[in-house]
Amino acid sequence: MGETNQTFERINFETSPERYRHIKLEINGPAATIKLNIQEEGGMREGYQLKLNSYDLGVDIELADAVQRLRFEHPEVTAVLVTSAQEGIFSAGANIFMLGSSAHAFKVNFCKYTNETRLSIEDATANSGQTYIAALNGIASGGGYELPLACEKIYLIEDRRSAVALPEVPYLGVLPGTGGLTRVVDKRKVRKDRADIFCTLAEGIKGKKAVEWGLVDEVFPSSRFWQEVEARVKQIAGAGRPDRKGVKLTPLQPELREDGIHYRHVKLLLGPTPRTARLEITGPAEIPAMPSDPSQLGADWYPLRVFREMDDALLHLRFNHPEIGLVLVSVKGDSDKVLQLDAQLQEHRKHWFVNEVLLFIRRTLKRMDYTAKSFFAIIDQGTCFAGTMLELALASDRAYMLDAKDVTIALSEFNGGAYPMGNGLTRIQTRFLNDADHAAAVAKLRGKLDAAEAEKQGLVTAAFDDIDWEDEIRLAVEERASMSPDALTGMEASLRFAGPETLETKIFGRLSAWQNWIFQRPNAVGEKGALTLYGRPERPEFDWRRT
């Protein structure tokens, strides 16, 4: 079959619980339940059925929304149970026929999105006090086991048939796409030889052996499975946090125009340079006084609203604009107001709502880090790359600054640790990996830095005066847009994450390299490839040469 020319209607990443088709979100005091009840005929496009609780991007959009809403709308919740509403099956994982009929770029971006959703589950457990628990009341296979792997606890029913499995290698000739291999050995610390058997055993492992090997935490017989699970959820949830009042996440409702997508504070504009887009962000116009309960500021509070818009724009870039290779990033506004907002956030960051906003900003910046587009920050007249907004320039592959009066950048306390990358370091620490002392000194800089000082400190790539500015930017943009997107994706993924390797960087690094490569190999997607022939009587034919 090889690479398909399958096209998609424009994908919308906004949803809400009343619109969910595939999951049900239930709140019961300090505990919440996410039930998978995936509708067979509810796929994002025709050509496949979502049998056995298998999922596609539409299902994961709902799951990501539920995880996000639990953090903001239900902060009283301290335990989240993830289970299935279908008897005998937890989830068969990503729908194979959906993957087999999808373009290569969609497959990789789908895996990337599901990875980010599962990392947000782990982030909620680690930083928001919402512990995720998986109750596997049936078979959990492939991505259907990778979802529980993101949970803190995994409980499996013992009914002589239910097992956990990662069958991608023997069945499909590809790898688990949502961090399964990495979480098995790095997170659950399964022994290497046992992991080797598990990941090549299509039928998976069940019962007490799954516990012994560390693949699940406990197994319970059918007769008392739910009783045991409920007891553990109750113990983990405790009394909850009834004093917290949630914040409703209102729809963004961007306007689609001929030139791109327009939000309230963000614009994603296409062209005029081929394969190039502009991500234009407007800084805060005013800084409202902080009420005694910051959650009263609601979902329209600038730092939450603007990064929700940016997060949505990044997803549109990935899925709906695959031809875009370079994004020019600018932030227009008043640097003093950005720094004032950062000071306000810092003063009140112990409040749960302010903390959740900061955690969401961090996740959005990571989404930018993991987006396979080139980013150039354009720092010119009227821009306000300061504090939190400076992170957008630090996250970019290059930052160009106009050497002119009143064009400045500035740092705040948040550049020193509030928004670590996937490698566990700040963007400043990653930037100056060869000089930790300089990184520490730069993070403490306060006051506005002009182009000469910004270049001296290493915070921008280059500074040009107004005579050379337009020509230098034009040449840089045209050069970048002319290069191979495949090579650039590999290059950027290698260069952006200098420093220590973590669970997170391993997951995305392997996705960008190995899975990206394997998804295009004949052994997987050729005419006789395993993924192509899945569900047919023919056996795959492999090229047996290893490379």
State how far the alpha carbon of 317 is from the alpha carbons of 220, 370, 372, 452, in Å: 45, 12, 9, 33
pTM of the predicted model as reported, rounded to 2 decimal places: 0.94
- The pLDDT value given to residue 4: 38
Q: Does the residue 355 lie in any domain? A: yes
Classify 515 as helix, strand or coil: helix
Whether residues 279 and 182 share a domain: the answer is: no
Q: Does the residue 521 lie in any domain? A: no
Last residue of a domain, one of 237, 265, 293: 237
Whether residues 51 and 118 share a domain: the answer is: yes
Closest of 104, 91, 176, 87 to residue 139, by C-alpha: 91
Give me the half-sphere count of Cα atoms (radius 13 Å) on the Cβ side of residue 266.
24
Classify 462 as helix, strand or coil: strand
Cα–Cα distance, 273 to 473 (Å, whole number): 12
Closest of 273, 250, 371, 397 to residue 314, by C-alpha: 371
Q: Does the residue 365 lie in any domain? A: yes
- The pLDDT value given to residue 242: 95
- Residue 443 burial (CB count, 10 A): 18
Q: Does the residue 432 lie in any domain? A: yes
Q: Does the residue 503 lie in any domain? A: no
Whether residues 154 and 266 share a domain: the answer is: no
Whether residues 218 and 296 share a domain: the answer is: no
Q: Which domain holds residue 154?
A: 17-237
Q: Does the residue 517 lie in any domain? A: no
Whether residues 262 and 226 share a domain: the answer is: no
Whether residues 190 and 324 share a domain: the answer is: no
* pLDDT tens digit sequence for 478-521: 999 999 998 998 899 889 989 999 999 999 888 877 777 888 88
Q: What residues in the chain have per-residue pLDDT under 50?
A: 1-8
CB 148 within 8 A of CB 164: yes
Whether residues 221 and 260 share a domain: the answer is: no
CB 283 within 8 A of CB 341: no
Residue 193 sits in a domain whose CATH number is 3.90.226.10
Cα–Cα distance, 489 to 271 (Å, whole number): 20
Q: Which spans in 11-137 are helix H?
A: 57-73, 96-100, 104-127
Q: Does the residue 249 lie in any domain? A: no
Whether residues 406 and 272 share a domain: the answer is: yes
Whether residues 222 and 160 share a domain: the answer is: yes
| Sequence-distant (≥ 6) Cβ neighbours of residue 151 within 8 angstroms | 82, 121, 125, 132, 133, 134
Last residue of a domain, one of 207, 237, 267: 237
- The pLDDT value given to residue 106: 92
Last residue of a domain, one of 204, 237, 270: 237
Q: Does the residue 535 lie in any domain? A: no
Whether residues 198 and 135 share a domain: the answer is: yes
- The pLDDT value given to residue 8: 46
- The pLDDT value given to residue 229: 98
Whether residues 271 and 193 share a domain: the answer is: no
* pLDDT tens digit sequence for 173-221: 988 888 999 999 999 999 999 999 999 999 999 999 999 999 999 999 9
Cα–Cα distance, 443 to 430 (Å, whole number): 12
Into how many domains does the chain fold? 2
Whether residues 195 and 300 share a domain: the answer is: no
CB 285 within 8 A of CB 306: no
CB 60 within 8 A of CB 53: no
**Order of strands across the sheet that contains 205-206:** 88-91, 138-141, 163-165, 205-206
